Amino acid sequence: MASGIHHVTSIAGSARRNLAFYTDTLGMRLVKKTVNFDDPATYHLYYGDPAGRPGTILTFFPWEGVPPGRAGIGEVHETVFSVPESSIGYWTQRFVEKGVAHETPVKRFGEITVAFKDSDGTRLALAGAKAIEPADAWGTGRVPPEHAIRGFHGVSLLLAEAAPTAAILSDVFGFVADGREGSTERYRAPDVATGGVVDLTTAGEFLAARQGAGSVHHIAFRAVDDAAQAAMAKKLVQDHRLYPTEQKDRNYFRSVYFREPGKVLFEIATDPPGFAIDEPIESLGQALKLPPFLEGRRAEIEAALPTLT
Ligand code: ZN
């Protein structure tokens, strides 16, 4: 079984503006409101589908006043969501109405795709899929369910060369080559409906990316359980001389991290336990949730966080 994308984590400026863009403008659900476990004065906001399934989760570290990032090689260049092909017109109209920076829809690998940016300049796109699962009912009323974002289509990485990264994707995560368009090679996780595409764009000796607002911090791939994660980690060490971190408990999944040869930070995150571990699925994202080791500092942490409304 190949592994798809579990989540993508990016850097934002204002937490309030970030929340408004992803919930009001894009109609995604805030599925978890917590803090950065390594920096608890900062929010960690998770957006996803109504059930918060792996493959639909875009997360942010909002750092108020962080300077903008600079696009370049060695990073996730664009994060792409899936919508029905028939919804692309709805979305371009919505982008015009809401003043969202976007480009004219174009065909990429045969799919109609519209690139746009969030309020921090994060590079995003919607890819129109011909066959797509119906959306779960999610009663925000902001985006009609038939047009709702269905999770990740995939990501594109900007690299000096594609082959070393491609070797990790195919050998460790089970992706297979699925065509080329210009300087972009597509890799796909067979049988993965949501978040199964990674495009590798070769830029040669271009400037290296510099992280800041609008940059992707890392991308996480799925492991069905701890044993699958351990097997992937072992493969990285034995066959690729890449040394992942010790497993870190992220409360909603367990993670190891490594920098792949193209310099992009990769994570391997377990599907279990998921976002319903510390609050009911119906009320995901409403209360500030803290991991047990930070619960004793709740008053201090809440006082330091910016207001979201
Ligand atoms: Zn992560």
Convert the pLDDT of each residue in 195-243 to its tens digit. Answer: 999 999 999 888 999 999 999 999 999 999 999 999 999 999 999 999 9
Q: What is the CA angle 237-215-9, rounded to 5?
A: 55
Whether 133 and 203 have beta carbons less than 8 Å apart is answered as no
- 140 pLDDT higher than 70: no
Rounded percentage of the chain residues whose pLDDT exceeds 70: 98
Per-residue pLDDT averaged across 95-121, rounded? 97
pTM (whole model) above 0.95: yes
- 175 pLDDT higher than 90: yes
Ligand 1 centroid to residue 42 C-alpha, Å: 15
CA atoms within a 13 Å half-sphere pointing along the CA-CB vector of 99:
1
Ligand 1 centroid to residue 86 C-alpha, Å: 32
Tokens coding 269: 């995150």
Ligand 1 centroid to residue 267 C-alpha, Å: 6
pLDDT given for residue 137 in this prediction: 61
Domains of the chain (ranges, CATH numbers): 5-304 (3.10.180.10)
**How far is C-alpha 169 from the geometric centre of its chain's CA atoms?**
17
- 168 pLDDT higher than 70: yes
- 139 pLDDT higher than 70: no
Ligand 1 centroid to residue 178 C-alpha, Å: 26
Ligand 1 centroid to residue 217 C-alpha, Å: 8
pLDDT given for residue 104 in this prediction: 97
Ligand 1 centroid to residue 8 C-alpha, Å: 7
CA–CA distances in Å: residue 55 to residues 181, 242, 260, 291? 24, 25, 20, 23
* Long-range interactions of 134-143: CB distance < 8 A, separation 24+: 135/49, 136/49, 136/50, 136/51, 137/50, 138/27, 138/29, 138/49, 138/50, 140/23, 140/27, 140/29, 142/23, 142/24, 142/25, 142/27, 143/26, 143/27, 143/94
Ligand 1 centroid to residue 93 C-alpha, Å: 32
Per-residue pLDDT averaged across 118-146, rounded? 85
Alpha-carbon dihedral 262, 233, 5, 18, rounded to 10 degrees = -80
CA–CA distances in Å: residue 253 to residues 3, 7, 81, 86? 15, 11, 22, 34
Ligand 1 centroid to residue 151 C-alpha, Å: 16
Confidence band, pLDDT 50/70/90 cuts, at residue 174 = very high
- 266 pLDDT higher than 80: yes
- 133 pLDDT higher than 80: no
- pLDDT tens column, 180-195: 999 999 999 999 989 9
Confidence band, pLDDT 50/70/90 cuts, at residue 294 = very high
Q: Which of 53, 120, 109, 111 is nearest to 87 (CA)?
A: 111
Which amino acid appears at position 124 of this protein?
L
Ligand 1 centroid to residue 211 C-alpha, Å: 16
Ligand 1 centroid to residue 280 C-alpha, Å: 22
Ligand 1 centroid to residue 59 C-alpha, Å: 8
Mean pLDDT of the chain: 95
Per-residue pLDDT averaged across 55-71, rounded? 96
Residue given tokens 């070797």 in the structure block: 167
